[in-house]
Amino acid sequence: MTKALQAAVLLFPGSNREKDVARAITQATGQAPSFVWHDERSLPPGTDLVVLPGGFSYGDYLRCGAIAARARIMDSVRDHAERGGLVLGICNGFQILCESGLLPGVLLRNSDQRFICKFQALRVENAATRFTSAYKKNQVIHVAIAHGEGNYFVDAETTAELNISGRIAFRYCDGFGRADQRANPNGSIEDIAGVFSKNFNILGLMPHPENLIDALTGGEDGLGLFASLADSR
């Protein structure tokens, strides 16, 4: 039997979804993740997956994720990613990955200026990755979103590149899988909800799949992401 996926969840002052994501990882892999404080100089040996959880690191001061992106542990995360290690950033974690330059673009204030907290349909755009293999391409999943700054923005050239290379992971859509302005909750360019890095070892997304892992609490559509990661070893 292969060894279970070893995950490390980073903790910044103001992270608040770390236990949710830890529960999802434990449920999918059978192995609880370790927690790593932002001021550490290294990741635990044997780490396969680094998770940047949701929350409000540093109170969203300056720009969301800007200060966390310069934390000491991020040098180790960058090394880990360069070696091909997996990195997952959810919500504030996605903002941190963008601010650190590990993913392209930036998350702006929602176009209607409001904090949004609701169920949202997503369309799986690329199911041929280690993060999404348990889904089918164009599958519609229902997960939670909860953010004030989820309005994804990149220049036109990068958007084209993301499209061509299959680096768009999820798009906001309606219940029928139609991605358009009406289904887009926050103004994100091309309804983008999540993107991959060039080598598909980094995923950042605004929605919270870690909160949809149990039929008793709203559904299991988020579990596929963690099941994919568990199977990726």
Partner 1 sequence: MKARIVVTLKSGVLDPQGKAIEGALKSIGVANIASVRQGKVFDIELDTADGEATQRALHEACEKLLANTIIEDYAIWHD
**What is the contact surface with partner 1 in residues (CB under 8 A)?**
62-63, 66-67, 70, 99, 105-106, 108-113, 151, 153-155, 187
Residue among 38, 80, 91, 147 flagged as catalytic: 91
Q: Are 107 and 54 in contact (CB under 8 A)?
A: no
Catalytic residue (one of 18, 99, 125, 210): 210
Nearer to partner 1, 115 or 119 (CB): 115
123 by DSSP, 3-state: which? strand
Tokens of 132: 């999404």
CB of 153 to partner 1, least distance (A): 7
223 neighbors 28 (Cβ within 8 angstroms): yes
Among 69, 61, 84, which residue's Cα sits nearest to residue 38? 69
- Residue of 38, 80, 147, 208 marked catalytic: 208
Q: How far apart are CA 70 and CA 28, in angstroms?
A: 31
CB of residue 191 to partner 1, shortest distance in Å:
15
Residue 136 corresponds to which tokens in the numbers above? 């089918």
CB of 183 to partner 1, least distance (A): 19
Nearest to 11 by CA among 23, 1, 22: 22
210 tagged catalytic: yes
Q: Exposed (0-12), middle (13-18) or buried (19+): which is 5, by Cβ within 10 Å? A: buried
User: Which CB, 151 or 184, lies closer to partner 1?
Assistant: 151
Strand partners, 122: 141, 172
Q: How far is the CB of 146 from partner 1 (least distance, A)?
A: 19
Which one, 26 or 111, has the nearer CB to partner 1? 111
Q: Exposure string (b/e) for 75-102, b if CB count within 10 Å is 16 or more?
A: ebbeebbeeebbbbbbbbbbbbbbbbeb
Closer CB to partner 1, 69 or 205, in the complex: 69
Instruction: Give the nearer residue to partner 1 in terms of CB position, either 69 or 212.
Output: 69
Query: For this structure, is 91 an active site residue?
Result: yes
State the nearest-atom distance from the C-beta of 70 to partner 1, in Å.
Answer: 6
- Report the catalytic residues: 91, 208, 210
